[in-house]
Amino acid sequence: MPIMKKVVASGGKAMLADHVLPEVSPAEIQVRVLYSTISAGTELGILTASANNSGAQFNLGYQAVGRIEVCGADMARDFAPGEIVACYGAPYVFHARSLNVPRHLTAKVPQSLANDSASLCQTAFCGLGTIALHGFRCGCLSLGETAAVIGLGVLGNLVAQAAAAAGCRVAACDTIDTRRHAACECGITACASLEELRALVMDGSSGHGADTVYLAVNKADDSLVTDAISLLRDRGRMVIVGTTAASLPRESMFNKEASIIVSRAGGPGRYDEQYEAAGHDYPYAHARWTEGRNLEEYVRLLAQGRMRIAPLVTDVVPVSGAGHVYDDIRDNPARHIGVVMDWSREP
């Protein structure tokens, strides 16, 4: 079995390690990775956890784009070597030179994206895009309703873009200048404080408040959650997306009779081995937007220009620099928004 390279967390640090690539099973395709994107919130959390597990290695990452090299017997009817695919979902997808990926964790990439390296970098945000689409759907918004997004890292930005693409009124905030500027380049109205966000929300909703507030920050204290709930209309919804840890103030929720939803990754099918590994799909009529269908939809929106990723790409780094880039993301979060690893030149 060939030995490749992958990026792992060990002892609180990111480093390159050997990756023994197993044979392709009938229900998998083997993908030669071209680009993979760092999900800062999740991966910095894994790095921190690895510091307490001396000697252990943990794979980093969960989203990539690459070229099919081998198709398993059951996959050859739908896929062909040479095709470009987006891939999402640990433990099958991580930062590595090559991956074996099951059917529902892949989506074909159209030629309009596949022929351009910059577009492929943007396609490698497919995991965060899938999570953002499922998070947006959890808010149950429809055309003309008001969405407020707190936190404009990549995930919060993409949630805001999804809401805008669906015809919602969108306002967002973040304290970091670079994130606000990127959001504005993506067509999102962004401000620096909750007070400004409140004014935008009330102005856009005739004083009623947001139909849904999306909380997309790494950690939320009681005051932030209380302020977020106060932005809601009566009987509005708050959706917690990403790695946000939050305690819920009962009094604020009671006063609004607010619904709180914790969005789980990319949608129905996530963490279900029968769906992910075995390839058994959920009935279309009963699970319209599985994680696989959300992944395909992200690629479609990107190809149509309805998801703007270019303003979010702050770094494209060689794989050899993986160890240093994580340190810099942790130490200088305002400098980095979207960080992509370039595997296309790796031997």
pLDDT tens string 179-231: 999 999 999 999 999 999 999 999 999 999 999 999 999 877 778 888 999 99
Q: What's the pLDDT at 42?
A: 92
Q: What's the pLDDT at 1?
A: 63
Q: Which residues pair with residue 212 across a beta bridge?
A: 147, 237
| Residues in contact with 25: Cβ distance below 8 Å, sequence separation at least 6, in sequence order | 72, 100
Residue after which a domain boundary falls, among 240, 262, 284: 262
Joined together, the tokens standing for residue 116 give 């351009």
- Whose tokens are 């999804």? That residue is 162
pLDDT beyond 80 at 246: no
For residue 232, what is the enclosing H or E element? strand 232-240
| CATH number of the domain residue 140 falls in | 3.40.50.720
Query: Are 211 and 231 members of one domain?
Result: yes
pLDDT tens string 273-315: 999 999 999 999 999 999 999 999 999 999 999 999 999 999 9
Query: What's the Cα-to-Cα distance from 115 to each of 21, 97, 127, 151, rounded to whole Å?
Result: 27, 20, 21, 33
Q: Could you tell me whether strands 210-215 and 245-246 are parallel, antiparallel, or unpaired per DSSP bridges?
A: unpaired
Residue 216 contacts residue 207 (beta carbons within 8 Å): no
Could you give the CA distance from residue 110 to residue 163 in angstroms, rounded to a whole number?
24
Band (pLDDT 50/70/90 cuts) for residue 337 is very high
Could you give the CA distance from residue 200 to residue 188 in angstroms, rounded to a whole number?
12
Query: Are 62 and 120 members of one domain?
Result: yes
Query: Are 221 and 305 members of one domain?
Result: no
pLDDT beyond 70 at 256: yes
pLDDT tens string 88-141: 999 999 999 999 999 999 999 999 999 999 999 999 999 999 999 999 999 999
User: How much is the average pLDDT of 257-274?
Assistant: 92
| Residues in contact with 195: Cβ distance below 8 Å, sequence separation at least 6, in sequence order | none
Residue 283 preceded by cis peptide, ω within 30: no
Is 347 among the domain residues?
Answer: no
| CATH number of the domain residue 40 falls in | 3.90.180.10
Q: End-to-end distance of the chain based on CA atoms, in angstroms?
A: 17
**H-type alpha helices, the chain:** 40-50, 111-114, 117-123, 126-138, 154-165, 177-185, 194-204, 222-230, 250-256, 273-276, 291-303, 322-331
Q: Considering its fold, how many domains does the chain have in total?
A: 2
pLDDT beyond 90 at 257: no
Query: Are 119 and 61 members of one domain?
Result: yes
Band (pLDDT 50/70/90 cuts) for residue 248 is confident
332: left (phi over 0), alpha (psi -120 to 50) or beta: beta
- Whose tokens are 């946000």? That residue is 244
Could you give the CA distance from residue 176 to residue 316 in angstroms, rounded to a whole number?
21
Which domain does 215 fall in, by range?
A: 134-262
Query: What's the Cα-to-Cα distance from 333 to each of 226, 245, 327, rounded to whole Å?
Result: 25, 19, 10
Is 21 among the domain residues?
Answer: yes
Query: Are 280 and 252 members of one domain?
Result: no
Band (pLDDT 50/70/90 cuts) for residue 347 is low
Backbone angles phi, psi at 166, to 5 degrees: -85, 5
Could you give the CA distance from residue 102 to residue 81 in angstroms, rounded to a whole number?
15
For residue 342, what is the enclosing H or E element? strand 338-342
pLDDT tens string 34-75: 999 999 989 999 999 998 887 789 999 999 999 999 999 999
Query: Are 25 and 77 members of one domain?
Result: yes
Could you give the CA distance from residue 126 to residue 130 in angstroms, rounded to a whole number?
6
Q: What pTM was estimated for this model as a whole?
A: 0.95
pLDDT beyond 70 at 80: yes
Q: Which residues pair with residue 88 across a beta bridge?
A: 63
Residue 257 contacts residue 93 (beta carbons within 8 Å): no
